[in-house]
């Protein structure tokens, strides 16, 4: 078994780091975590930039191979630790896999106003007072819900089985749930199914320990 190390944010609130953690856990891989204190700008330190030249998290190190960007990391994990020896992160069928990649790319790079109005830490500690959203944020909320309704349809997951793209979409949708945005029952159930997975609960439990 290779030596695997995942560099994540010390506060454990990054959706990108959480996505890779979930992927590694779903694969059943043993890995070490190393924390980077973003508040102290450790990501820009010379020591960390030698590990990750972008100065971002997450960064995955497998033996002497260093890889950044969560999309690239999950694809690498799928190819390096393939099904059936390891559980699948993506569907094997070409169109289904392309759909998952498209959804991942969308939620990781778009909906900027949602990410600004509803930061990721609100998923772990929901705000007590409902947020007041800008017109741009309201448009993005409606667009996100419309996209989700289309790509999800009446199915449990984006494709026949759960994929890491389901988690990434559910994380974005959970921002809305945490800020008390009214959601259709179908989408609420979808978020719940994703967040009930043991891989996701494992991260949440580790996050909770930080505030204990």
Which carries the bigger pLDDT value, residue 140 or residue 130?
Answer: 140
pLDDT at 212 over 60: no
pLDDT at 151 over 80: yes
**Please, what is the average pLDDT of the chain?**
96
Average pLDDT over residues 51-58: 97
SS (H, E, C) the chain: CCCEEEEEECCCCCHHHHHHHHHHHHHCCCCEEEEECCCCCHHHCHHHHHHCCCCCCCEEEECCEEEECHHHHHHHHHHHCCCCCCCCCCCCCHHHHHHHHHHHHHHHHCCHHHHHHCCCHHHHCCCCCCCCCCHHHHHHHHHHHHHHHHHHCCCCCCCCCCCHHHHHHHHHHHHHHHCCCCCCHHHHHHHHHHHCCHHHHHHHHHHHHHCC
Q: Which domains does the chain have, with CATH numbers?
A: 4-88 (3.40.30.10), 94-198 (1.20.1050.10)
% of the chain with per-residue pLDDT over 90: 95
pLDDT 10s digits, 1-40? 899 999 999 999 999 999 999 999 999 999 999 999 999 9
pLDDT 10s digits, 59-71? 999 999 999 999 9
Do 17 and 57 form a contact (C-beta atoms < 8 A)? Answer: yes
Average pLDDT over residues 136-164: 97
The whole-number pLDDT of residue 129 equals 78
pLDDT at 93 over 70: yes
The whole-number pLDDT of residue 128 equals 81
């Amino acid at each position: 078994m290779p030596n695997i190390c995942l560099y994540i944010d010390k506060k454990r609130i990054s959706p990108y780091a959480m996505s890779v953690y979930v992927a590694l856990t779903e694969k059943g891989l043993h890995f070490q975590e190393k924390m980077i204190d973003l508040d102290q700008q450790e990501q820009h330190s010379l020591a960390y930039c030698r590990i990750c030249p972008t100065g971002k998290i997450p960064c995955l190190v497998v033996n002497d191979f260093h890889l950044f960007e969560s999309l690239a990391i999950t694809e690498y994990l799928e190819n390096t630790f393939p099904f059936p020896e390891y559980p699948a992160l993506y569907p094997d069928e070409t169109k289904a896999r392309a759909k998952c990649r498209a959804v991942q790319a969308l939620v990781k790079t778009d909906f900027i106003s949602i990410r600004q109005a509803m930061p990721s830490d609100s998923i772990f500690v929901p705000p007590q007072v409902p947020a007041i959203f800008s017109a741009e944020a309201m448009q993005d909320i409606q667009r996100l819900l419309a996209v989700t309704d289309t790509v999800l349809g009446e199915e449990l997951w984006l494709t026949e089985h759960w994929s890491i793209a389901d988690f990434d979409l559910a994380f974005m949708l959970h921002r809305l749930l945490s800020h008390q945005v009214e959601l259709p029952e179908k989408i609420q159930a979808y978020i719940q199914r994703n967040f009930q997975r043991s891989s996701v609960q494992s991260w949440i439990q580790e996050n909770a320990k930080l505030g204990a």
